[in-house]
Amino acid sequence: MIGIFDSGVGGMTVARAVEQALPEHGLIYFGDLARTPYGSKSPETISNYARQNTQFLIEQGAKLIIIACNTAASIASDTLRREFNLPIFEVITPAVAKAVATSKSGRIGVIGTRATINSNIYEEKIRHLAAKVKVFSQPCPLLAPLVEEGWLNKRETKMILRRYLSPLKQQQVDTLVLGCTHYPLLKELIQPRIGKRTKVIDSSHEVAAELKAFLAENPALASQLSPEKEKRYYVSDLTEATLATANLIFGRTIELSKVTI
């Protein structure tokens, strides 16, 4: 099974992309809705939650892990790789690689939660690949709550997006990384506000493509994932609003099981 976790429902955009790219493999998703959001919490607390989530997925049969939460990926991926002996993917690295390959002007914008942006992980990883690239980062702490409310086409959402994006537009970034798994749901509002010439990078597609390439090169591991084709979706808390957002993300009715971890 492929194990995927997020602080909430946003990571389901990653699960959807993985389902589409690798329909032949089993998948377990865990959304930590009882403790969501991670974006405003401290590094110590976020690492602790990431560790518990990974342990749960392994107990459920996961043979590899995708950290489908930018906040947890930025804070806790090194910790998890040290502590757990299985391949750990995350949403940041493949998005960074794609952004660097895409940008022609060398001016890349990144949007994310306050914790992700403050961690400076995107800037560091981009500079590591391309030292001369200029990175412009913008924390957007209200976007995830707006998505969770389903305010995907409200005037206030558009205004808040314009406020967040206008500094990046002024800096004439030619590539914009969506550094939070909630943001793909706002992609159609983001594109016109950042400008149609700016390429918007959606990390859910990039991590799914990276995983697909990795499994093609590691058939032994791929065969361990294959036996069970079922998809299981767990959450640590369940409300009507969560179900509605999950169904919106997948475009079908999703069965969510509540577990205490």
Query: Which CB sits closer to its own copies, 159 or 213?
Result: 159
Q: What is the DSSP string of 155-216?
A: HHHHHHHHHHHHHHHHTT-SEEEE-STTGGGGHHHHHHHH-TTSEEEEHHHHHHHHHHHHHH
**Interface with its own copies, residue 239, by CB under 8 A:** yes
**Quick one: which of 59, 156, 188, 228 contacts its own copies (CB under 8 A)?**
156
Ranges within 135-154 binding its own copies (CB under 8 A): 141-142, 145-146, 148-149, 151
Q: Does 140 participate in catalysis according to the annotation? A: no
Tokens, residue 98: 């794609």
Ranges within 173-232 binding its own copies (CB under 8 A): none
222 phi and psi angles, rounded to 5 deg: -55, -40
Q: Which of these is catalytic: 180, 185, 186, 200?
A: 180
**Cα 158 to the chain's mean position, in Å?**
22
- Provide the 10 A C-beta neighbour count for residue 34: 15
Element containing residue 92 per DSSP (H, E): helix 92-102
Closest distance of CB 149 from its own copies, Å: 6
Q: Does 180 participate in catalysis according to the annotation? A: yes
Query: Which CB sits closer to its own copies, 133 or 243?
Result: 243
Closest distance of CB 208 from its own copies, Å: 28
Side by side, the strands of the sheet bearing 175-178 are 134-139, 107-112, 175-178, 199-202
Residues that bind its own copies (CB under 8 A): 33-36, 40-42, 45, 114, 141-142, 145-146, 148-149, 151, 155-156, 159-160, 163, 236-239, 241, 258
Positions annotated as catalytic residues are 69, 180
